Structure 1
Amino acid sequence: MLAVRLVTRVVPDLAGVDPAQWDALDHGPSPFTEHGFLRALELSGSVGPGTGWEPHYVLVEAEPEDPSAEDAGSPSQGRTLVGAVAAYRKDHSYGEYIFDFGWARACMRAGLPYYPKLVVAAPVTPATGRRILLSPSLAPSERVAIEAALVEGVRTVADQLDCSSVHWLFCSASEHGRLAEAGFCPRASFQFHWRNHGYADFDAFLATLSSRKRKQIRKERARALAAVDGPVEFVPAAEWTRHDIARLESFYRRTCYAHGNEGYLTPELFELLPRMMPQRARFVRVRRAGQIVAGALCFQTEHALYGRYWGCCEEIPFLHFEVAYYAGIEHCIREGLPLFEAGAQGEHKLLRGFMPAPTFSNHWMRHPGLHEGVERFLRGEAMEVGQYMGQLARFSPYRKDDDGRPLPLPDERPSMGEVGEAGEQAASRGDDAIELG
């Protein structure tokens, strides 16, 4: 085996990065840092010029010590990708789902610039996943060294772009702890996730709920399904027709308009998914009188189902709950998927079997006073949300002999009792409490 040296470089897009090498890195359960998803965002114009999301990918590659041993036709030829981070220069705070608008206002009051900032995240996607992607073949000592090189690479990008701050959003629990040790203030929030405890079928899941909640869900499902044609379909992107793509995009746009915005994803993104993520992307499709009247975009890996965007062209009672929650739960049981993340926020999910589960971020501010103020705020915020999560747990729909507490995935997630967090609502209320030290 040839001796190697590590080379760190930054690229503005993934056009020149081998998809096989990128996807060979350890992404954990999430598909949202895979080459297909990130490249589709680039090619569709959902990130890049004019969007406020400017990509800067930090790569660490292993290069043979003897360049003559390989064909050196290009700067990266002969190198093997062993680590990567997807970072984005941001001119705003939209599409992040970890709210820092109050921090930006605090900077404005103090006469300090808050933008640009650097964000390490899956763009416009509030789903937990690894943010520091490493080769699974690395020895423990190599993992430590390459992770340190990537974190330092992110800091260097922030310096070169004159960013006010660095934000690691929806990182894994293990990364959360290590980034805190590296000087990035830890912030915890939560979502509502459903865990598959080995249920044989949907009725077996219902049997773990209180009688009242069980009856409510059965009633909602019956009313929704009676109004449409047959069961909800989960259609892989590889099988989408042009009509499917058009309907899915129109549902997304209608929901965005209903909430007063145009949405972050361009129409081209939906057109690219069949080619870029043929098995990951799913159209949760509903027909009525033969016509597609509602649906949702989901993403599926071997470990989890991720619900993203719901929409409809007819208002049908309880159909949202069926498409966005119940059909997904049933699909996870059928496919043996241990986790269902149905998106950000939503206390109404609690009554339908989704329990509070911690999510994590880490933050560094260039201005020492702002950094100290954020650090103080986050300590208080964590206490608030720990209390709020405890209050929510008391409203669990599960029977007392089966409390529905999330089971951790093999590599990362602690139980909610191990982490104090602040909910996104509490965070947005308290952000204005930041004071510069």
Structure 2
Amino acid sequence: MEARFIASISEIPAAQWNQLAGIDYPFLRHEYLLLLETSGCTDRESGWVPLHLTLFRGEQLIALMPLYLKSHSYGEYVFDWSWADAWHRNGRDYYPKLVTAVPFTPATGPRLCLAEGESAAEIYPLLLQAVKQMAEQQEASSWHVLFPDEEAAQVLEASGMALRTGSQFHWFNQGYTNFDEFLGTFNSRKRKSLRRERRAVAEQDIELRTLTGAEISSADWEKFHFFYQMTYAKRSGHGGYLNKEFFLGLGDAIGEHCVMVLAYQHQQPVAGALYFRSSNTLFGRYWGCEQELDCLHFEACYYQGIDYCIAQGLQRFDPGAQGEHKIQRGFTPIKTWSNHWIADPGFAAAIADFTRREQEHTEQYIDQAATFLPFKQTE
């Protein structure tokens, strides 16, 4: 078996990559990762240098994982700034580091993909050894696997990588037939509050339109990119991680996964929310607006997503990272995972101790957050 690092996903045919990564989870599709590259969102200038790892038996691709050489920690959503500061205070360089993740996307999913019939117990140690050798070549401080599924996270922990537990807030479909049935599970006060928010949007003469796939025109994509830029500029002082070329290419790359909600006021588009979907999950990703309108963010980013899940029979709605305001709107706190290999033994021991202690606090936080869910109390 031979490990090969590739500087562009274009070095692997799409059909070959997708056979292992699958085509249901949109963010690991060859087409999606290639679009990030060709649009210039993942390159040396952005600080996301592709270095994807593949494993071959002869000329047969048997394993793969996305991998990037990073010169910063932006766009990851598993925060390690304090670790970088510790390296700096000790006169060491934390960057570059190696990261296995979907850029700018805190959505749990496959990270290490194996061909059918291959043994994880046999393949994972080979991949780990290859990454460690590459880390030495690149003088990288560490390797981080962000938002793997629970099974992969546990296998990586058993392989010697520290396991870090995080939290998000997801909505789960309990077989609802409509939004009112979902609201019927709320206690009276929370139900009235949510209805008040939806009513506030309607009273501002705002119309929401949900578009999917080919229904999303190039003009819609351009307008959405404008909203995205405007909102990032207000919040962060820059135009966002993703450029116009990326958004304009999404329809051709993975249009069947795209769901866009556009908000119109007096027949003019004023805001938008972009989702991606798999066969059972809706992923809320990006939001933007021209002006802040009362409760519109909640409507476009959460309630329209719930409506869509119910109508389409999707089982889960992952609206993205952070946001305790989601709890009172029916989003349940859940665990997320990441794994971390640190080259320096002293720092590795400190990080492992930190993640163990942090896990206790995270689990306590999740338990406490769940007490604020809006649902009626049951016996």
Pairwise TM-score range, normalised by the shorter structure: over 0.9
Aligned counterpart, 1:236: 212
Unaligned runs of 5+ in 2: none
**What is the one-letter code of the residue matched to 2:38?**
L
Among residues 282, 288, 297, which one is paired with 2:265 in the alignment?
288
SS in 1 for 2:76: coil
Aligned counterpart, 2:313: 336
C-alpha distance in 2, partners of 1:243/1:266?
15
SS in 1 for 2:50: strand
Q: CA deviation at 1:399?
A: 1.2
**What is the one-letter code of the residue matched to 1:112?**
R
C-alpha distance in 2, partners of 1:30/1:397?
30
- The 4+ residue runs of structure 1 with deviation greater than 3 A are 26-30
Within 5 A, what are the aligned runs for 1:93-108?
A: 93-108=73-88
Among residues 94, 110, 113, which one is paired with 1:133 in the alignment?
113
**What is the one-letter code of the residue matched to 2:356?**
R
**Residue 366 (1) aligns with residue 343 (2):** yes
SS in 1 for 2:261: strand
**Residue 310 (1) aligns with residue 290 (2):** no
**Residue 351 (1) aligns with residue 346 (2):** no
C-alpha distance in 1, partners of 2:150/2:219?
40
Aligned counterpart, 1:222: 199
Contact 1:55 1:88 in 2 (8 A): yes
Aligned counterpart, 1:117: 97
Aligned counterpart, 1:43: 38
**Residue 86 (1) aligns with residue 69 (2):** no
Q: CA deviation at 1:240?
A: 2.3
Aligned counterpart, 1:275: 252
C-alpha distance in 2, partners of 1:332/1:15?
34
Unaligned runs of 5+ in 1: 1-5, 64-78, 403-437
Q: CA deviation at 1:237?
A: 4.0
Aligned counterpart, 2:15: 20
C-alpha distance in 1, partners of 2:246/2:47?
17
The C-alpha deviation readout for 1:140-181, integer Å capped at 9, x for no partner, is: xx3432333333332232222111001111111111111111
SS in 1 for 2:4: strand
C-alpha distance in 2, partners of 1:226/1:81?
56
The total of aligned residue pairs comes to 378
Q: CA RMSD in A?
A: 1.6
SS in 2 for 1:49: coil
The C-alpha deviation readout for 1:7-47, integer Å capped at 9, x for no partner, is: 32111111121112211224596321111211110010000
Q: CA deviation at 1:229?
A: 4.8
Aligned counterpart, 2:234: 258
Aligned counterpart, 1:388: 365
Q: CA deviation at 1:283?
A: 1.6
SS in 2 for 1:15: helix
**What is the one-letter code of the residue matched to 2:187?**
S
C-alpha distance in 2, partners of 1:145/1:298?
37
